[in-house]
Amino acid sequence: MTAVREVVAPTWFGDRRRRTLAWVGLSALVVLGVVVAGGPAADAAQTTSLTDRNLGPSAAHWFGTDRLGRDMLARTLAGLRLSLVVGVAAAVVSAGIALTLACLAAVFGGVVDRAVGWLVDLFLALPHLVLLILLAFALGGGTGAVVAAVALTHWPTLTRVLRGRAREVMSSDYVAISRQLGHGRGWIARRHLAGHLAGHFVVGTVLLFPHAILHEAALSFLGLGVDPGEPSIGILLAESMRYLTAGAWWLAVLPGLCLLVVVKLVDTIGSNARALLDPRSHHL
Amino acid sequence: MTALLEVRGLEVDFVQYERGLRRRTVHALTGMDLTVAAGEVVALVGASGAGKSLLAHAVLGLLPPNAVERGEVLLDGELLDAAGRRRHAGRGMTLLPQAVSFLDPVRPVGRQVRRSAELAGHPAPRRAAAEALARRGLGPEVLRRHPHELSGGMARRVLGAMATMSNPRVLLADEPTTGLPPADVRTTLGGFRAMADDGGAVVLITHELRAALDVADRVVICRDGRTVDVADPAGFSGDGAALAHPYTRALWQALPGNGFSVAEGV
Amino acid sequence: MLQADGVWFRHGRDRPWVLAGVDLAVGAGEVIGLCGPSGGGKSTLGRVLAGHLRPDRGRVTVDDAAPRPRRAAHPVQLVLQQPERAMDPRWTVRQVLAATGADDAAIAALDQRLVVPSRLDRFPHEISGGELQRVNLARALLARPRYLVADEISASLDAVTQARIWTLLLEHCREAAIGVLAISHDRPLLETVAGSVVDWTPSPVGETPA
């Protein structure tokens, strides 16, 4: 292929890459908006008004009110903010564990590699939710325990992806040649491995995040998550259960839908970022 | 004699992205001309990266979606667009691919050959597959093997069996002899000659000029995405004085055994 | 003298032997051709000589000593057939060359027929195969080897580019008295570039060390 290069000015029309980028940006903006809006909503979320109990959605209360007359929109926003914060913390810690293990396995190989592989298989073989519940229980509940429990159970899949990629890099001809030029393990990890893993790492972290949010909600729903006083989405859903039969559908449906939308948006960011980060991707 | 396959001024660009939004166009082919008539073997010779394989893929309409092509491709005198050519791919016109990686690594060879027999419309694909391999000296035990269990030469023969299953009128053979021992090279090329003598048209894509000279009716030289010269194989003798184009002459003179000389300015 | 002494090698305990008792010697400043069909273990021998792979039996010596390249470039450098695989696709040509420990001045002082200065800040996929293979050769030379193993370095190049790269290689190696092992399936090529040509016979199936 001839190496003639000419930079073409991209047009907005018919440019899939630009549209993807715009879509990612919009998703990120909405997610960020939820986090920002959740801050001021925290007060309103805890304000009780016994005259406005169990109202359906209306102009004054878009998402209705609960049994204590608290505005559900405010509670949902505050809950999403809490979920997002827990999700980010858990995803980042989890991805950190994955990266460390994958690099150790690839750089040292042999026994270390086998040990990491064994550990990944072990964690993948155990039922996810049971492990999560046991960990959260053992760590004593509360927000910190949820972050720790989610972080400690979500690293295996990403570790597996990163380890595969790292192995591929380490067995390549260019790493063999760098070794032959007298460079040590640290140099190869820094100069070769880091660059090749960065893209996978970023995307993997973003994609871990929706998982982490959903599992946080699940734990809170089961009563092992964040402090019941805090309005996390899981707690909102758990509370709403008792009132569903009384016809208060808005208590469960609207916060649940919001969680779904946020998770979907984050997922969009993650999967599109993968295509954007690859410099030679053909189709985007 | 009318041309079975004719390519006129074929150009292919690829639109790619560098990091972020910087978009660029890579001009991969910048003017390819090729004519093959029934009964002919035409060798397309050039370095790897000169666009030979790409020409074959473009002719068959197999380019990825970010490719932009211009120029004309005529099959049997009929002007066809990429979609039209794709309909002929595998039937009237087949590609003999370059590497074992064109075989599905997780399916036994027999299933893959049988599939191409099915697609070619054989009434008894199982028997047709076994016979096609047997004609190439491969026993029935090969049918059960996976591609990684084949030697390079065996894989070529399997690919050859698949490519000729539908008795194509035009065969595009992409580097069919790379890495084969000299005896196998001769057999493979002899097979192409026989195909052409039966009325087919063969485009032999190769970078080994010397091997191609034995069977080719014409040699098309390409370089940096364009065809630069069409030469008569008889001209490749002695010091190459009969060769008109300077690059063709330089190629001939640079061969080990012909002086190994590096001409300046070509 | 780069010497292989009864070298045996296989890719794992339960795999067949790829190299079965290979002996080979390349003297300083000598050019030896190794000719044989592809898939016969020639490339594996190249990698064993260059220290990429450790022989299971036998030994490889460089000037009568086992090379111990701790934190220094190996005295035997390898130039592979596919330069694009031998370079990190995320690095520019300059970074590739600098990985040998050469400073900017040394890179700037390189033979311009090997590396065209305007290509230094390009990525490997942006330059042509012939240019890339010359960069590959330049990198091996920058590591100041005593021996060079050239494994099918021109197998995917056209004749003009092939003649050009071999001319450069021979010129530079003669100048620095580097011994060359040229591996190829192309006998006419080896007869042109090498002082003597050794025929390679793949190790027979089922052979085991005594």
In a domain, C142, yes or no: yes
Backbone angle region of B209, left / alpha / beta, with phi > 0 → left and psi within -120 to 50 → alpha: alpha
pLDDT at residue C134, as a whole number = 93
Distances (CA, A) of C120 to B243, C124, C135: 36, 10, 9
Q: Euclidean distance between the first and final Cα of chain C, in Å?
A: 26
The answer to whether A2 contacts C69, with C-beta atoms less than 8 Å apart, is no
pLDDT at residue A128, as a whole number = 81
For residue A128, give how far its alpha carbon lies from the nearest alpha carbon of chain C (Å): 36
pLDDT at residue C189, as a whole number = 92
| Candidates A4, A21, A284; nearest CB to B26 | A4
**Mean pLDDT, chain C, whole residue set:** 89
In a domain, C208, yes or no: no
Residue A206 has pLDDT above 60, yes or no: yes
Distance separating alpha carbons of residues A72 and A45, to the nearest angstrom: 7
Query: How do the pLDDT tens digits run along chain B, 266 residues long?
Result: 578 899 999 999 888 776 556 677 888 889 999 999 999 999 998 877 778 888 998 999 888 888 888 999 998 888 888 888 888 887 788 888 877 778 888 888 889 999 888 888 888 888 888 888 888 888 888 888 888 888 777 888 888 888 888 888 899 998 888 777 778 888 889 889 998 998 889 999 988 888 889 899 999 999 888 899 999 998 888 888 888 898 898 889 888 888 787 766 66
Pick from A20-29, A175-184, A213-222, B47-56 the range whose average pLDDT is largest. Answer: A175-184
Distance separating alpha carbons of residues B89 and B95, to the nearest angstrom: 8
Distance separating alpha carbons of residues B243 and B262, to the nearest angstrom: 16
Query: B148 is written with which tokens?
Result: 């990684």
pTM value is 0.79
pLDDT at residue A40, as a whole number = 74
The answer to whether B254 contacts C162, with C-beta atoms less than 8 Å apart, is yes
ipTM of this complex: 0.90
For residue C52, give how far its alpha carbon lies from the nearest alpha carbon of chain A (Å): 6
Structural domain harbouring A195: 19-42+60-277
Helix A143-170 to helix A194-221 angle (10° resolution) is: 150
In a domain, C207, yes or no: no
C82 vs A contacts (CB less than 8 Å): 173
- Which of B200, B194, B132 is closest to B168 using CA atoms? B200
| Candidates A5, A174, A179; nearest CB to C87 | A174
SS3 B80: coil
A190 vs C contacts (CB less than 8 Å): none
Distance separating alpha carbons of residues C40 and C20, to the nearest angstrom: 11
Query: C2 is written with which tokens?
Result: 């780069």
Q: Over the stretch A185-204, which tens digit does the pLDDT of each residue have?
A: 899 999 999 888 988 898 88
Where would I find the beta strands (DSSP E) of A139-183? Answer: none
Distance separating alpha carbons of residues C38 and C103, to the nearest angstrom: 38
| Chain C residues within 8 angstroms (CB to CB) of chain B | 37-39, 128-130, 155-164, 166-167, 185-186, 188-189, 191-193
For residue A228, give how far its alpha carbon lies from the nearest alpha carbon of chain B (Å): 44
Helices and strands, counts by H and E, chain A: 10, 1
User: How large is the average pLDDT for residues A3-18?
Assistant: 53
User: How large is the average pLDDT for residues C37-47?
Assistant: 84
Distance separating alpha carbons of residues A267 and A262, to the nearest angstrom: 9
CATH number at residue A271: 1.10.3720.10
In a domain, A257, yes or no: yes
The answer to whether B28 contacts A279, with C-beta atoms less than 8 Å apart, is no
The total of structural domains in chain A comes to 1
The answer to whether B262 contacts C188, with C-beta atoms less than 8 Å apart, is no
- Which of B252, B109, B93 is closest to B173 using CA atoms? B93
Distance separating alpha carbons of residues A129 and C58, to the nearest angstrom: 55
Higher pLDDT, C66 or C208: C66
Among B14, B26, B53, B55, most A C-beta atoms within 10 A, so best to mutate, is B26
A 10 A CB-CB count for B209 gives 23
CB B227 within 8 A of CB B34: yes
Structural domain harbouring C82: 2-199
CB C170 within 8 A of CB B238: no
CATH number at residue C105: 3.40.50.300
In single-letter form, the type of residue at position B182 comes to P
Where would I find the beta strands (DSSP E) of chain B? Answer: 3-17, 23-37, 41-45, 67-75, 78-79, 93-96, 170-174, 201-206, 218-223, 226-231
In a domain, C45, yes or no: yes
A 10 A CB-CB count for C57 gives 16
pLDDT at residue C14, as a whole number = 83
In a domain, A3, yes or no: no
Distances (CA, A) of B45 to B127, B203, C110, C160: 37, 10, 32, 13
Tell me whether residue A127 is exposed, middle or buried, using C-beta atoms within 10 angstroms of its C-beta: 0 to 12, 13 to 18, 19 or more.
exposed
Higher pLDDT, B41 or A4: B41
Higher pLDDT, A82 or C145: C145
Distances (CA, A) of B213 to B39, B198, B210, C195: 16, 20, 5, 29
For residue B110, give how far its alpha carbon lies from the nearest alpha carbon of chain C (Å): 24
In a domain, A55, yes or no: no
C50 touches chain A (CB under 8 A): yes
Q: Over the stretch C86-142, which tens digit does the pLDDT of each residue have?
A: 999 889 999 999 999 888 899 988 988 899 888 899 888 878 888 899 999 999 999
pLDDT at residue A284, as a whole number = 40
Query: B235 is written with which tokens?
Result: 């001209």
H-type helices in B106-176, by residue range? 109-119, 125-135, 152-163
Higher pLDDT, A162 or A274: A162
Higher pLDDT, B217 or A16: B217
In a domain, A194, yes or no: yes
Distance separating alpha carbons of residues B97 and C195, to the nearest angstrom: 37
C180, β-bridge pairs: C31, C148
For residue A124, give how far its alpha carbon lies from the nearest alpha carbon of chain C (Å): 29
pLDDT at residue A13, as a whole number = 43
In a domain, C210, yes or no: no
SS (H, E, C) chain C: CEEEEEEEECCCCCCCCCEEEEEEEECCCCEEEEECCCCCCHHHHHHHHCCCCCCCEEEEEECCECCCCCCCCCCEEEECCCCCCCCCCCCCHHHHHHCCCCCHHHHHCCCCCCCCHHHCCCCHHHCCHHHHHHHHHHHHHHCCCCEEEEECCCCCCCHHHHHHHHHHHHHHHHHCCCEEEEEECCHHHHHHHCCEEEECCCCCCCCCCC
SS3 B218: strand
Report how many Cβ contacts below 8 Å link chain B to chain C: 67
Report the topology of domain B1-92+168-266: Rossmann fold (3.40.50)
Chains touching chain B through at least 3 C-beta pairs below 8 angstroms are A, C
- Which of A52, A85, A87 is closest to A70 using CA atoms? A52
Q: Over the stretch A90-134, which tens digit does the pLDDT of each residue have?
A: 999 999 999 999 999 998 988 999 999 999 999 989 888 888 888
Q: Is the dihedral of CA C84, C86, C90, C91 positive or negative?
A: negative
In a domain, A122, yes or no: yes
The domain spans of chain B are 1-92+168-266, 102-166
In a domain, C205, yes or no: no
pLDDT at residue B20, as a whole number = 59
